[in-house]
Amino acid sequence: MTSNNHIKAIFFDLDGTLRHSVPEGGQIFDEYVVSLGLPLSGEDRLRGMRWEYLYWANSTDLRDDLVAHTADTEKFWVEYTRRRLIAVGASPEWADERASAVSMHMGEMYRPESIVPEDVQRTLPQLKEAGYYMAVISNREKPFIDLLESHKLSPFFEFSLAAGEVDIYKPEPGIFDHALKRAKLTASEAVYVGDNYYADVIGSRRAGLLPVLFDPNGIFPEADCVTIKSFDELKSAIEVI
């Protein structure tokens, strides 16, 4: 039985929430840009991180780039790089001149490790034992059950749902509606835990779920929702919602 009579289910984002890339791509990106002569303050780096979250939240820029570069992945990443360079403070001219080189560097040198942090490993068994119905909802294009299995996460979840399976991407509420129907639950009975305010908090709230923002690095200090910095805080946070 769950400790909370109101909340019966916990839905999770995947990337950046349950599973992490180490080191983070933004960190490597920023270090290389600095080596090219563009000084970055802490504020610049934070602005770049926030831009990334907004871009990947099915933004208009992302959709435009996907349409413009459907047949050319390399050009897509060059344009992504150009946009991020401007986001961290580069002039449009500087970004235009160096976007291709930075994109190539990332493609050749960035080889992150995929991990499940220890606090996630500690918390999921506790939530399962407490009786919560759990599932994973991601903006990935394709099913990711193999990834969950490779990280020994699949036993904790009733199902996983990739946005591409239903062609609805967060922050659109429809993807959460699909998950609720599959779980046979109402929105008020579920919370959604994710690290992207623009996709996860806004999207789940639109669908009527209670959002919990996982924000260990304080990227969204102004967030108007329950916020945790560690999964060790999650169970108690849900119990008092």
In tens digits, the chain (241 residues) has pLDDT values of 444 468 999 999 999 999 999 999 999 999 999 999 999 999 999 999 999 999 999 999 999 999 999 999 999 999 999 999 999 999 999 999 999 999 999 999 999 999 999 999 999 999 999 999 999 999 999 999 999 999 999 999 999 999 999 999 999 999 999 999 999 999 999 999 999 999 999 999 999 999 999 999 999 999 999 999 999 999 999 998 8
User: Which run of H or of E encompasses 165?
Assistant: helix 163-166
> According to the model, what pLDDT value does residue 1 have?
41
Rounded (to 5) percent helix, strand, coil in the chain: 50, 15, 35
Within-domain flag for 124: yes
> According to the model, what pLDDT value does residue 142 have?
97
> According to the model, what pLDDT value does residue 241 have?
85
Look up the CATH number of the domain holding residue 150.
3.40.50.1000
Within-domain flag for 128: yes
Q: Which domain range does residue 150 map to?
A: 9-21+114-239
> According to the model, what pLDDT value does residue 55 have?
98
Q: Show which of 53, 75, 109 is a domain's final residue.
A: 109
Long-range contacts made by residues 43-47, C-beta under 8 angstroms, separation at least 24?
44/88, 44/89, 45/88, 46/219, 47/87, 47/88, 47/89
> According to the model, what pLDDT value does residue 5 have?
64
> According to the model, what pLDDT value does residue 2 have?
45
Within-domain flag for 77: yes
pTM for the model stands at 0.95
- The answer on 219 and 119 residing in a single domain is yes
